[in-house]
């Protein structure tokens, strides 16, 4: 009997060892395949609150937190030094420049000499194309080839009223083209050209949207483009009428693929005798850019750094507030043209009171999440208010 009990005990021990041996790989295989599931374990209350809403952000519903919040690691690139985004706090110190780059195959960016010796961070995004973040060191201006003044101003063509939309006020989009990279400016007014709006981005395909216009009125306007050397082209004084709607169709200001004028990649120049850099980029397909610098203003750096968790205590490095609240939204919602939605990445007027539920970025700028709830809302489009009119009146109380 004693011998039988020993045999039974030994058999139980063998079965136990076999069970744990088999259970270990099973437990490993049962670990969350989606990294976002580990976010849920720490942020369960936030998850429950978001999923309890009627309209829920699809990636949030799928536990795909990493899509909007976590930075990945980049690999090396032929054109620039590779960036390891898992490096603690690496991107927290980057100030993303407020330049509204549109989708194009070629980009020109003018930069001040004060950035000499700093490092530019460049994100390139196209349809199905997103190479790693690149770092470009700015050498002294004196070491770069000069881009000399060609003297003639840009040639203006295809000037037109591209779009007229009526809402609480009227917005009008004016478009034109130039034969060289230049900025975009419109002078306009009812009786005289006493107002203006300028877009400093260098482009050959121009769009400027005028907002807050009166309905049922005739306006005069003149388009102006200035190249990197300061040569200016002005159109004749033209007119548009806000009595009608004119809804544009097509791809907005996205350029069609074309044969690049230079080899793909980055090229640095000094603009004539000036104290400015020119960073020229040519891609294989139309892309948008995000440009940042590691020489931010102290106040902005402090605010951005305070808002990021970094990779301390083993936590993955978080995307910057600009990425999470603006860039990611634009990546997925490319059909939403910024000119016809509320401006983002801008500061509200100094005298405007912003309701507490309209969240701003750390430095006070407006983002997509100022009007939309990040994870879920009881209202359509995940708005923070029940309707578009209520949403607008939250800040624009006089309308």
Note whether 110 and 272 are within 8 A (CB).
no
Domains of the chain, by residue range, sit at 1-31, 94-296
Predicted pLDDT of residue 327: 75
Predicted pLDDT of residue 56: 81
pLDDT digits (tens, 9 = 90+) for 160-177: 998 888 776 788 999 999
For residue 298, report the phi and psi dihedrals to the nearest 5 degrees.
-55, -40
Predicted pLDDT of residue 4: 53
The helix or strand, by DSSP H or E, that contains position 392, with its residue range, turns out to be helix 388-393
Predicted pLDDT of residue 252: 38
Note whether 63 and 37 are within 8 A (CB).
yes
Residues in the chain where the model's pLDDT stays below 70: 1-37, 71-92, 98-101, 168, 245-263, 295-315, 317, 334-341, 350, 363, 398-399
pLDDT digits (tens, 9 = 90+) for 22-68: 444 444 444 445 556 678 777 877 777 777 777 888 787 777 787 78
**What is the dihedral sign for C-alpha 98, 104, 105, 107?**
negative
CATH for 94-296 is: 2.60.40.10
For residue 377, report the phi and psi dihedrals to the nearest 5 degrees.
-150, 160
Note whether 198 and 187 are within 8 A (CB).
no
Predicted pLDDT of residue 140: 92
In sequence order, what E strands does the chain have? 55-56, 81-82, 95-96, 104-112, 119-126, 134-137, 146-147, 156-166, 170-189, 195-213, 218-226, 232-234, 238-241, 265-271, 276-293, 376-377
Predicted pLDDT of residue 160: 94
**CB neighbours of 190 closer than 8 A, spacing ≥ 6?**
214, 217, 218, 219, 220
For residue 40, report the phi and psi dihedrals to the nearest 5 degrees.
-60, -40
Predicted pLDDT of residue 336: 63
d(CA 37, CA 24): 20
Predicted pLDDT of residue 223: 97
């Amino acid at each position: 009997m004693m011998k039988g009990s020993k045999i039974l005990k030994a058999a139980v021990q063998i079965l136990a060892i076999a069970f744990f041996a088999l259970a270990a790989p099973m437990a490993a295989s049962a670990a969350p395949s989606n990294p976002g599931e580990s976010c849920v374990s720490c942020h369960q209350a936030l998850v429950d609150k978001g999923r309890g809403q009627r309209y829920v952000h699809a990636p949030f519903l799928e536990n795909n937190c990493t899509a909007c919040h976590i930075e990945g690691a980049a690999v090396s690139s032929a054109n620039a030094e590779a960036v390891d985004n898992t490096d603690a706090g690496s991107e927290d110190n980057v100030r993303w420049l407020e330049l509204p780059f549109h989708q194009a195959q070629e980009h020109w960016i003018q930069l001040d000499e004060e950035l000499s010796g700093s490092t530019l961070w460049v994100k390139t995004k196209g349809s199905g194309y997103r190479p790693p973040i690149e770092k470009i060191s700015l050498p002294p201006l004196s070491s770069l080839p000069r881009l000399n003044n060609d003297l003639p101003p840009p040639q203006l063509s295809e000037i037109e009223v591209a779009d007229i939309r009526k809402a609480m006020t009227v917005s009008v989009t004016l478009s034109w083209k130039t034969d060289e990279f230049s900025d975009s400016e419109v002078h306009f007014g009812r009786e005289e050209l006493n107002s203006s709006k300028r877009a400093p981005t260098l482009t050959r395909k121009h769009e400027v949207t005028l907002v807050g216009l009166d309905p049922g009125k005739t306006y005069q306007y003149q388009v102006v483009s200035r190249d990197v050397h300061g040569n200016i082209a002005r159109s004749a004084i033209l007119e548009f009428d806000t009595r009608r709607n004119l809804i544009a169709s097509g791809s907005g200001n996205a350029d069609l693929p074309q044969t690049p004028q230079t080899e793909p990649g980055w090229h640095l120049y000094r603009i004539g005798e000036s104290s400015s850099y020119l960073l020229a980029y040519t891609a294989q397909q139309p892309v948008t850019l995000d440009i940042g610098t590691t020489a931010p203003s102290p106040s902005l750096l402090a605010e951005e750094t305070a808002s990021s968790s970094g990779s301390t205590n083993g936590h993955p490095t978080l995307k910057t507030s600009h990425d999470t609240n603006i860039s990611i939204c634009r990546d997925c919602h490319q059909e939403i043209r910024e000119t016809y939605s509320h401006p983002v990445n801008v500061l509200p007027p100094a005298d405007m009171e912003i309701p507490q539920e309209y969240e701003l970025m750390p430095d006070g700028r407006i983002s997509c999440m100022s009007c939309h709830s990040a994870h879920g809302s009881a209202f359509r489009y995940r708005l923070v208010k029940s309707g578009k009119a209520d949403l607008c009146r939250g800040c624009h109380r006089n309308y």
